[in-house]
Structure 1
Amino acid sequence: MRANKNQGRTGLNSPALFAKTAVDERLYLGTIEKSLLVLGTFCANPRPMTLAEVSQASGLNKSATQRVLYTLRALRYLNQSETTRQYSLSAKALDIGNAYLRSNPIVEATFPYLLEANRRSQETVNLTELDGSDIIFISRVPSRNVMSSYITIGTRLPALATAPGRAILANLEPATINELLRTITTNPQKTLKHLHRVRQKGFAIANQEAVPGDISTAAPVFGYGKNVVAAVNIAASTANWTPERVEAKLSPIVVEIARQMSNVVSQHWRR
């Protein structure tokens, strides 16, 4: 499963890693795995890095790291400073992420509902998907009233520490959630009880657990066959809201918007 992303003594983060399942070694290309591991290292450490730093964070030896860095630079996915010799992601690296957003039908189909939730709440509204044990923000309408936090499209946060993550996890198939919880929590049974309450209520609330100063309420979005595919959340500032007010005023909005999204998404979103 995912590697430890805690910072070591050098302040470097390890990239996100996931277990390979049902891999046919005759077809599997380890060179591509190494290339994506290096790219993932830059995602986990969004700053210029030296060859030695990339090697240490990725776990690859320096020889393999040098070859991968050279190739990615030649393909224009990386830049290298002529003065510091440090490597950094290039603008071309945006192409894959932007292509995903453009090709994901849920983004286009749900955006009018994000706008409606933003109009009704006057707060920031996000759409997120589950990726491994994290959520990723794939669409967003910021509040006009409060300076938005550092959250941007593409931001990744631990699912269990967020309202949208809990809203999605609470509606996964039992076998899937049981397997996932074994890898991300030391008390799966306690977490399951909490997620069961989230599922019963139809929404989740998180108070400054992943983002300081942020109270979030979220509800699941279902696709074809009633499979959960995303979550919509409204994020508000603790300067203006309490958890009680969020539950009373914003949770009903997010539940209704999620239901409307599900009606649209379920028509064409299959997994």
Structure 2
Amino acid sequence: MLDNRTRKMGVNSPATFAKINIDERLYLGTIEKGLLVLDTFCANPRPMTLAEVSEASGLNKSATQRVLYTLRALRYLTHSETTRQYSLSARTMDIGNAYLRSNPIVEATFPYLLEANKRSQETVNLTELDGSDIIYISRVPSRSVMSSYVTIGTRLPAFATAPGRAIMANLSPSVTEDLLKTSDFAAITPYTITTRHELVDELEKVRRKGFAIANQEAMLGDISTAAPIFGYDNHVVAAVNIAASTANWTVEKVEAELSPIIVEIARQMSKVASQYRRP
């Protein structure tokens, strides 16, 4: 949680992830600090001063200055002598692009995203679970203005999204329980489910129906239906969803017309994804 000084500066702390089974003999704290600063820019996608980066990251100013200098020297950051602000450089895109190129599921399933887009005439997305968030790793947009709300790399809380629920409902009970514990159930829109009890009920519906629907819970004006994608050993590895506008669709119409498409496409994608054994 941000303290009062951080709130006044208008900066966000980066997302935190639990460290599991860390061997301190091998763990490099200097790399952690560097990545923490990069994560700070991800949480605050705008130019920031040294003081703002220090405040948001929790590092003292001396450590922050050294990290910023190093990242600038390595061309991961740029610096304005006029405003004294730092910004991410274009080079930081290399890491994300390398991940997408190295993920065989992204390329192998893209024709199915195209097929779902052709059949629905709406935006189709491929997402993975990362921590308690889903992250968009591939998409085929519709011609609707709604397409601009999400880009590849966008993160959203899994509990409030159809693809997040499609994945959560098909994880092992212990993993789902851990996700429920780490989800803060903060309202993103007036329609967001904000209690554990409601979400558990929704996940049970997903298991029973084979698909999830979220109505304006993560973005106003957006109705999404999603189905899980199963990989090697029948473990859920991703979800595919169709996002439609409330201007043209109702929940009932989405369930009747778009959910069958996404369930069929997810089955086809699962056959492809099951051929790849990932770490």
TM-score for both structures, normalised by structure 1: 0.95
Q: CA deviation at 1:112?
A: 0.1
Determine the structure 2 residue equivalent to 1:238.
246
- Aligned runs of 1:1-271 on 2, under 5 Å? 8-185=7-184, 187-271=195-279
Distance 1:75 1:106 in 2: 31
CA deviations 1:81-140 (Å, max 9, x no partner) are 121110000000000000000000010010000000000000000000000000000000
For the Cα contact (< 8 Å) 1:224–1:268, is it kept in 2? yes
Distance 1:20 1:209 in 2: 30
Distance 1:83 1:170 in 2: 51
Distance 2:97 2:145 in 1: 27
For the Cα contact (< 8 Å) 1:123–1:234, is it kept in 2? yes
Deviates more, 1:123-132 or 1:190-199: 190-199
Distance 1:235 1:213 in 2: 10
Distance 2:19 2:47 in 1: 29
User: Which amino acid is 1:266 matched to?
Assistant: S
Distance 1:232 1:224 in 2: 17
Helix, strand or coil for the counterpart of 1:253? helix
Helix, strand or coil for the counterpart of 1:9? helix
For the Cα contact (< 8 Å) 1:164–1:218, is it kept in 2? yes
For the Cα contact (< 8 Å) 1:208–1:215, is it kept in 2? yes
Q: CA deviation at 1:244?
A: 0.7
CA deviations 1:151-193 (Å, max 9, x no partner) are 1000000001110000001101011111121121475454323
Determine the structure 1 residue equivalent to 2:190.
none
Distance 2:146 2:234 in 1: 36
| Structure 1: runs of 5 or more not aligned | none
Distance 2:178 2:125 in 1: 27
User: Which amino acid is 2:276 matched to?
Assistant: H
TM-score for both structures, normalised by structure 2: 0.93
Distance 1:269 1:231 in 2: 17
| Structure 2: runs of 5 or more not aligned | 186-194
Q: CA deviation at 1:150?
A: 2.1
